[in-house]
């Protein structure tokens, strides 16, 4: 029952040739012999000498604290026999929005950070953002094709959140990465997220199978667990908006130098800000985004001017009968010049009065 | 020799009536009886019950660690008899730019966070962003008029930095806040910053004297120490650019909803991104910004379209003979409609080959 997989780059580049990847359904949990951190799921895992690694957990502090340095607590650690990676964050003053709570962009940034530290701490990291060694040797990178986030409650400045992340196989050549965000003090689950990743050759930009050597790296870390149950997930197709179907179009959006990431691409988290630019102001002010699904289609560089399209769904609960939103929007971010798609999105919103 | 002062809001709103505030010169260090944290500079300071407070320092961990929670290490603590506030941060994956090092915006965000936590931890915090209780009672807020940052080295993803901040009086009605950023592992000082703050009535938008009751709150926290010595500081006037003097003008810059802060204003750190929009791309790619001075003139709301102007200085070392930059630029960020000034800036740059 051991499966393959671990990391993810936060590269957001749609493959030239697309496949569809079903979200893995919950199956039998792994029931393998897991030992002291050197064997996971019965397979030997190289211990990492990375500075990111901290096996210290709260309950062990009394044992370790003579040698622990404060900065080790800034990083994450493995829990549940190295199958789940956990990192704690304090929401900072500049991570909150006009309503004084963490923004969706902040949540996405923290999910990214936890995912990348998971890879680094696993000892598998190659030379790329989240690529494993065997991937780097083959010029392969992870690309995200879909991400879905559900927010039960947004945190405030100073709140401490605890993020768990783990990975599993999905389809033949995909990896699923899930996250759960808890309020550190109450342990209440306040956000759930799931994402689908495929492997691409960074030079040819073509999709690749997961090579056996990469599978061997990944297998020990897979865990069959869903952050969002199948019935609550958003797996529906997102319609492609156009000039006719979009109620609102905002043109002339220009990526800034400061929107670029370490791959010289527009960081995919930045797309959220542009998507919101075509959402009515009264919605931004009086509603909380409770669900967001992004379907990535194409990479974006700094020279591209963008357009943001938004359309209100006729039946707000059509695709989300389990989530009961007050309103639902479909979005498209596209190139202004040739109208090529970059990201499709669906968002759901609840009145701030009801969603606290 | 005891003086008054502590906090700072990150409000960036130029006063209607401007005064000039000299940067305080280094004088005699405080030589007062400092006791166990309840008396500072000989004056009683209320102990804070704030969750932000952590008096635990690295060397004391063995004593405290049975009760310490991991998240206390995410916050800051007082050092040097409560005259200096210190917080440690790990540079995150989304805080680095295209060259894989922390951006100037990231540094400014971390300075802001440390300053606000300083105020909160002091037990003085009122209901505003950095305002003291006595200020909040009087509807007074802090506004920054000038900030100057010198960067010796930019950190990489995963690097841990330690930020010290403290405050002092400057002029009759100003407060100076300084910062030092160290590489946590080497303790090398990698960034120095200083800023000047005045008090404004948040309703009338007029400058105010510091009321005696506010001075009494602040006095115990003042320390006569400079992060940047007088000879290395940038205190020169920044010329106002116009259409004739600006070599490059970038128009149509539109603040996004996601650029707004908790005060419904454009967060002042965001200005840096717009200023950079009129800097030549080859400079952004091949040079590091080693010094930045911002002079804030006017607040900015979301509806305002902005223009970014940049001019290369004729003599790069004219105002920075101690800093020896490869090039120096003057900038202006202004409203597009009425050309009203928002921020004047001066930046200095060194080749990345030389500045590592």
DSSP symbols for B243-304: TTT-SEEEEEE---GGGB-TTSSB-TTHHHHHHHTTS-HHHHHHEEEEEEEEEE-----TT-
pLDDT reported for residue A323: 65
pLDDT tens per residue across span B193-232? 999 999 999 899 899 999 999 999 999 999 999 999 999 9
CA distance A216 to A220: 8
Q: Does B305 touch chain A (CB under 8 A)?
A: no
pLDDT reported for residue B6: 31
In A, residues 69-88, which contact B (CB 8 Å cutoff)?
69-71, 73-75, 88
Q: What is the mean pLDDT of residues B106-124?
A: 93
CA distances from A92 to A107, A117, B38 (A): 12, 19, 28
Q: Which of B51, B96, B97 sits opposite A158 (nearest CB)?
A: B51
Picking from A65, A66, A86, A118 by the largest number of B CB atoms within 10 A of its own CB, the best residue to mutate is: A65
Per-residue burial over A188-198, b if 16 or more Cβ lie within 10 Å, else e, is: eebbbbbbbbb
Q: Which of A88, A113, A252 sits opposite B94 (nearest CB)?
A: A113
Q: Specify the 3-state DSSP secondary structure of A297.
A: coil
Q: Does B50 touch chain A (CB under 8 A)?
A: no
Phi/psi region, residue A169 (left: phi>0; alpha: psi -120 to 50; beta: rest), is beta
Q: What is the mean pLDDT of chain B?
A: 79
B282: closest CA of chain A, how far (Å): 12
Check CB contact under 8 Å for A109 and B116.
no
Give B331's strand partners.
B310, B345
B331 is catalytic: no
Tokens 């690529």 belong to A131
For the cut 70, the answer to whether the pLDDT of residue B327 exceeds it is: yes
Q: Does A61 touch chain B (CB under 8 A)?
A: yes
Q: What is the mean pLDDT of residues B71-99?
A: 87
CB B317 within 8 A of CB B348: no
Number of residues that make up chain B = 356
Phi/psi region, residue B354 (left: phi>0; alpha: psi -120 to 50; beta: rest), is alpha
Check CB contact under 8 Å for A62 and B58.
no
Which of B287, B228, B85 shows the shortest CA–CA distance to B167? B85
Q: What is the mean pLDDT of residues B64-74?
A: 47
Q: What is the mean pLDDT of residues B251-277?
A: 85
Picking from A93, A276, A277 by the largest number of B CB atoms within 10 A of its own CB, the best residue to mutate is: A93
Per-residue pLDDT of chain A (356 residues; tens, 9 = 90+): 333 333 333 444 444 433 332 222 233 322 222 223 344 444 444 433 333 333 332 223 222 333 345 555 667 899 998 999 999 999 999 999 888 899 999 999 999 999 999 998 988 888 777 899 999 999 999 999 999 999 999 999 989 999 999 999 999 899 999 999 999 999 999 999 999 999 999 899 899 999 999 999 999 999 999 999 999 999 999 999 999 999 999 998 888 888 887 766 788 888 999 999 999 999 999 999 999 999 999 877 767 789 999 999 865 445 455 567 899 999 999 999 999 999 999 999 999 987 76
Tokens of A19: 């496949």
CB A142 within 8 A of CB A112: no
Tokens 């005045």 belong to B198
CA distance A104 to A102: 7
A47: closest CA of chain B, how far (Å): 19
pLDDT tens per residue across span B4-58? 333 333 444 444 443 332 222 223 322 222 223 344 444 444 433 333 333 332 2
pLDDT reported for residue A20: 30
Check CB contact under 8 Å for B97 and A258.
yes
Query: What pLDDT band is residue B308 in, cutting at 50, 70 and 90?
Result: very high
Tokens 């049975």 belong to B66
CB B303 within 8 A of CB B253: no
Which phi and psi angles does A326 have, rounded to 5°?
Answer: -75, -35
A4: closest CA of chain B, how far (Å): 25
Picking from B10, B57, B90, B349 by the largest number of A CB atoms within 10 A of its own CB, the best residue to mutate is: B90
Q: Specify the 3-state DSSP secondary structure of A308.
A: strand
Helix (H) or strand (E) holding B215: helix B212-218
Check CB contact under 8 Å for A257 and B284.
yes
CB A223 within 8 A of CB A31: no
DSSP letter string, B197-243: EEEEETTT--EE---HHHHHHHGGGB----SS-GGGS--SPPPPP-T
CA distances from B232 to B90, B150, B226 (A): 28, 10, 11
Check CB contact under 8 Å for A252 and B252.
yes
Residue A136's CB is within 10 A of a number of other CB atoms, namely: 15
CA distance A56 to A65: 9
CA distance B347 to B291: 5
* Burial classification of residue A87, based on how many CB atoms lie within 10 Å of its CB (0-12 exposed, 13-18 middle, 19 or more buried): buried
pLDDT reported for residue B69: 53
Residue B73 DSSP class: G
For the cut 80, the answer to whether the pLDDT of residue B325 exceeds it is: yes
Give B163's strand partners.
B87, B181
CB A217 within 8 A of CB A124: yes
Q: Which of A68, A90, A120 sits opposite B74 (nearest CB)?
A: A90
CA distances from A8 to A4, A124, A135, A162, B68 (A): 13, 11, 11, 20, 33
* Burial classification of residue A164, based on how many CB atoms lie within 10 Å of its CB (0-12 exposed, 13-18 middle, 19 or more buried): buried
Expressed in angstroms, the distance from the first to the final Cα of chain B is 40
> What is the ipTM score, two decimals?
0.79
Q: Does A92 touch chain B (CB under 8 A)?
A: yes
pLDDT reported for residue A234: 93
CB A147 within 8 A of CB A289: no
Helix (H) or strand (E) holding B151: strand B140-151
Q: What is the mean pLDDT of residues B108-124?
A: 93
Query: What pLDDT band is residue B98 in, cutting at 50, 70 and 90?
Result: confident
Q: Which residues of A have a catalytic role annotated?
A: 263, 265, 300
pLDDT reported for residue A314: 62
CB B267 within 8 A of CB A94: yes
Which residues have CB under 8 Å from B260's CB, separation 6+?
Answer: A97, A98, B266, B267, B302
pLDDT tens per residue across span A156-203? 998 999 999 999 999 989 999 999 999 999 999 999 999 999 999 989
A159: closest CA of chain B, how far (Å): 10
């Amino acid at each position: 029952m051991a499966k393959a997989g671990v990391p993810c780059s936060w590269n957001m580049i749609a493959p030239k040739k697309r496949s569809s990847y079903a979200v893995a359904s919950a199956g039998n949990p792994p029931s393998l012999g897991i030992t002291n951190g050197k064997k996971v799921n019965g397979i030997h895992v190289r211990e990492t000498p990375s500075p990111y690694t901290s096996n210290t957990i709260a309950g062990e502090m009394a044992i370790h604290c003579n040698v622990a340095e404060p900065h080790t607590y800034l990083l994450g650690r493995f829990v549940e026999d190295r199958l789940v990676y956990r990192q704690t964050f304090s929401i900072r003053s500049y991570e909150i929005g006009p309503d004084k709570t963490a923004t969706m962009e902040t949540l996405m940034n923290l999910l990214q950070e936890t995912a990348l530290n998971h890879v680094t701490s696993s000892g598998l990291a190659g030379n790329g953002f989240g690529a494993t060694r065997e991937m780097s040797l083959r010029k392969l990178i992870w690309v995200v094709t879909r991400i879905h986030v559900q927010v039960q409650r947004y945190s405030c400045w100073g709140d401490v959140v605890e993020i768990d992340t783990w990975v599993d196989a999905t389809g033949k050549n995909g990896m699923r990465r899930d996250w759960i965000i808890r309020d550190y003090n109450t342990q209440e689950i306040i956000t759930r997220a799931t994402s689908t990743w495929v492997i691409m050759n960074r030079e040819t930009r073509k999709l690749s199978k997961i090579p056996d050597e990469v599978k061997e790296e990944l297998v020990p870390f897979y865990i069959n667990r869903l952050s969002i149950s199948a019935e609550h997930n958003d797996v529906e197709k997102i319609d492609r908006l156009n000039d006719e179907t979009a109620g609102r179009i905002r043109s002339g959006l220009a990526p800034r130098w400061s929107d670029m990431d370490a791959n010289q691409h527009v960081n995919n988290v930045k797309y959220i800000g542009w998507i919101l630019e075509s959402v009515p102001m009264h919605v931004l002010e009086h509603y909380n985004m409770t669900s967001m699904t992004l379907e990535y289609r194409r990479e974006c560089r700094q020279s591209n001017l963008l357009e943001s399209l938004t359309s209100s769904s006729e039946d707000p609960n059509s695709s989300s009968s389990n989530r009961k939103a007050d309103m639902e929007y479909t979005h498209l971010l596209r190139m202004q010049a040739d109208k090529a798609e970059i990201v499709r999105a669906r968002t759901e919103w609840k009145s701030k009065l009801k969603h606290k």
